[in-house]
Chain A
Amino acid sequence: MKPDRSTLIQESIRLLQAIAPELDADMLSAERPLRQQLDLDSMDWLNFLVSLHQRFQVEIPESDYSQLRSLNNVADYLSARLA
Chain B
Amino acid sequence: MIEFTLPSLGADMDEGTLLSWQVKPGDKVRRGQVVAVVDTSKAAVDVEIWHDGVVQELKVAPGEKVPVGTVLATLRETGESATATATPTPAPAVPIPKAGLAPRHPVSPLARKRAAELGVDPDTLRGSGAQGSVTLADIEAAALPKPDVAKSGAPAVSAASARQQEMRRAIAAAMSRSKREIPHYYLSETIPMATALNWLQRRNQDLPIAERILPAALLLKAVAVALQRTPQLNGYFRNNTFEPANSVHAGVAISLRGGGLVAPAIHAVETLTLTQVMAALGDLVKRARAGSLRSSEMSDPSITVTNLGEQGAQTVFGVIYPPQVALVGFGAITVRPWVEAGAVCAAPLLTASLAADHRVSDGHQGALFLIELRERLQEPQALAEAGSTPAAEQEKTP
Contacts and interface: CB of A to CB of B under 8 A. Distances in A.
Given A49-B209, A60-B209, A62-B201, A21 B214 contact: no
Interface string B356-375: 00000000000000000000
A9 interface: no
Interface stretch (B11-19, B99-107, B319-327): B99-107
Interface stretch (B116-124, B150-158, B163-171, B278-286): B278-286
A24 to B, nearest CB: 11
Given A20-B257, A43-B285, A50-B210, A62 B101 contact: no
A43 B257 contact: no
B205 A42 contact: no
Interface residues of B, number: 26
Interface string A56-81: 00011111000000000000000000
A50 B285 contact: no
A36 B310 CA distance: 11
A61 B282 CA distance: 19
A4 to B, nearest CB: 24
Contact of B216 (A39, A42, A50): A42
B216 A17 contact: no
Contacts of A63: 205
Nearest to A44: B285
Contacts of A21: 104-105, 131-132, 257
A22 B309 contact: no
B78 interface: no
Contacts of B210: 50, 53
Given A43-B281, A47-B282, A62 B204 contact: yes
Contact of B309 (A42, A53, A59, A62): A42
B286 to A, nearest CB: 7
Contacts of B214: 42-43, 46
Contact of B209 (A36, A42, A50): A50
Contacts of B241: none
Interface string B198-242: 000100110011101011100000000000000000000000000
12 contacts: A21-B257, A36-B311, A41-B311, A42-B309, A43-B214, A46-B209, A46-B214, A46-B282, A47-B286, A60-B209, A61-B205, A62-B212
